[in-house]
């Protein structure tokens, strides 16, 4: 049995300079864990409720003093009075403190900060175990280094002067180790920078570290990335694959039931948007499309999966929001074949794990993910390895808030030594 000594939180800043919640959990044996909560810009309307103060006199209304107070008072008072057989028992008790469907009473940011910090503390209490190892043992699966999805060119809500598509990513899956995969991604990133500079584009980066040039079309971005892959000496389609995060909910007009691709100068329905994707798949080695349609366009998603789902992974982010009920619905309808896992969308470790396990049981691929507003917290790296997620999406190899996750994965790979297993191309074995 393990007793919790104290749970304390404070208001800190994320990578966009917005307040977020930091938390430290200390157990009676002195084991300690600290975690910081991220925040998204392109957020799904079905996500758990991120509690902010709406006090315009502080941080333009984005302060989180109430969420911090909820940790220090409600959660700390309630959960330091009992002993727990495991972290998972503690997490269940934590989730149970908020009796709303979306955690709007205490706040998902308050609850998640405690959940992440407590997991680290319980891992340390268990023989000073690193979190990835603690999770792997509990998951009864060997740890596995994920394939990185590197966001190297930004648009949409992450860089408003660039493309309609929010993220253009490379997936260096055709390698034998995580470090070789990452190296290839880094080299392509820097080569893309050189190409953009030679063409006179600005070299500013978006929220996730990808470059944000002002381009004439979305396809131009794909062409530039293909040039960077070739010039770096890698093979597109075998060693390096492409991925898109369309964030189509941001392009959708509910009144007209249509999608605006401003850079293309067109407005299309879901059927025609899928046809555009099909055209890109015929020209480029795209293996993954995330949020290709609006978060509630279920009929469109069914058509998308029917037309493209046997060839590429169709990742539900805003569609699923790491919510097991929406995963059930999507699977029953045949709406997608992959899930993006964001702990702050659902608000706890336990619920994130349940969504991952359900997705895997449905033979879906799973992608552990950051948010656009991040901190130096690198917990998702441990989650990706310990839960054998297969893929991790954590931005460009730039900005300390992104690089922290990559460096943590390199550290874990080194700790595993000869026992390190890299997912590689087998993660896409479902697709032909």
Catalytic residues: 208, 342
Structure tokens at 158: 């992450």
Name which of 414, 383, 418 is nearest 133 in CA terms. 383
CB atoms within 10 A of CB 422: 20
Q: What phi and psi, each to the nearest 5 degrees, are found at residue 222?
A: -65, -40
Total residue length of the chain: 432
67 Cβ contact list (under 8 Å, min separation 6): 9, 21, 51, 52, 106, 107, 109, 110
> CA-CA distance, 81 to 76, in Å (whole number)?
9
Helix (H) or strand (E) holding 25: strand 19-27
Strands 365-369 and 338-341 come out as parallel
Q: What's the order of all strands across the beta sheet hosting 32-36?
A: 32-36, 19-27, 2-13, 83-84
Name which of 96, 256, 228 is nearest 169 in CA terms. 228
- Quick one: how many helices (H) and strands (E) in the chain? 14, 15
Cα angle 149-269-338, degrees, rounded to a multiple of 5:
30
Asked if residues 303 and 336 have their Cβ atoms less than 8 Å apart, the reply is no
The tally of CA atoms less than 13 A away on the side-chain side of residue 39 is: 22
Radius of gyration of the chain (CA): 21
What is residue 49's DSSP assignment?
P
Structure tokens at 110: 């308050």
> CA-CA distance, 379 to 149, in Å (whole number)?
17
Where does 142-204 have alpha helices with state H?
A: 178-198
> CA-CA distance, 49 to 271, in Å (whole number)?
32
């Amino acid at each position: 049995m393990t007793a919790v000594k104290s749970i304390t939180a404070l208001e800190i800043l994320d990578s966009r300079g917005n307040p977020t919640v930091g938390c430290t959990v200390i157990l009676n044996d002195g084991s300690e864990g600290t975690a910081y909560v991220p925040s998204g810009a392109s957020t799904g309307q079905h996500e758990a409720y991120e509690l902010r103060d709406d006090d315009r006199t502080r941080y333009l209304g984005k302060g989180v003093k109430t969420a911090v107070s909820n940790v220090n008072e409600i959660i700390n008072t309630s959960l330091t009075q009992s002993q727990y057989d495991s972290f998972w028992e503690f997490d269940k008790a934590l989730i149970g403190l908020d009796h709303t469907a979306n955690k709007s009473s205490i706040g998902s940011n308050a609850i998640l900060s405690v959940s992440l910090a407590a997991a680290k503390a319980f891992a340390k209490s268990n023989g000073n175990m690193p979190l990835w190892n603690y999770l792997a043992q509990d998951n009864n699966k060997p740890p596995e280094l994920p394939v990185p999805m590197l966001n190297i060119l930004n648009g949409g809500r992450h860089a408003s002067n660039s493309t309609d598509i929010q993220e253009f990513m490379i997936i260096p899956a055709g390698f034998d180790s995580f470090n070789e995969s990452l190296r290839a991604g880094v080299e392509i990133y820097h080569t893309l920078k050189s190409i953009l500079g030679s063409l006179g584009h600005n070299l500013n980066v978006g929220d996730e570290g990808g470059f944000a040039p002002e381009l004439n079309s979305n396809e131009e971005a794909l062409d530039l990335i293909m040039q960077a892959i070739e010039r770096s000496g890698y093979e597109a389609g075998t060693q390096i694959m492409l991925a898109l995060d369309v964030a189509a909910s941001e392009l959708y007009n509910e009144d007209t039931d249509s999608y605006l691709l401003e850079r293309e100068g067109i407005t299309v329905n879901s059927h025609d948007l899928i046809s555009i994707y099909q055209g890109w798949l015929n020209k480029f080695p795209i293996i993954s499309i995330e949020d290709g349609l609006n978060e509630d366009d279920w009929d469109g998603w069914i058509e998308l999966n029917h037309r493209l789902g046997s060839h590429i992974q169709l990742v539900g982010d805003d569609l699923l929001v790491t919510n097991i009920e929406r995963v059930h619905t999507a699977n029953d309808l045949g709406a997608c074949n992959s899930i993006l896992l964001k702990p702050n969308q659902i608000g706890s470790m336990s619920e994130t794990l349940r969504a991952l396990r359900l997705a895997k049981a449905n033979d879906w691929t799973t992608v552990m993910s950051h948010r656009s507003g991040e901190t130096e917290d690198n917990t998702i790296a441990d989650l990706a390895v310990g839960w054998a997620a297969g893929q991790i999406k954590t931005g460009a190899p730039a900005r300390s808030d992104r690089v922290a996750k990559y460096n943590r994965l390199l550290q874990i790979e080194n700790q595993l030594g000869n026992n390190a297993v890299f997912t590689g191309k087998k993660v896409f074995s479902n697709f032909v």
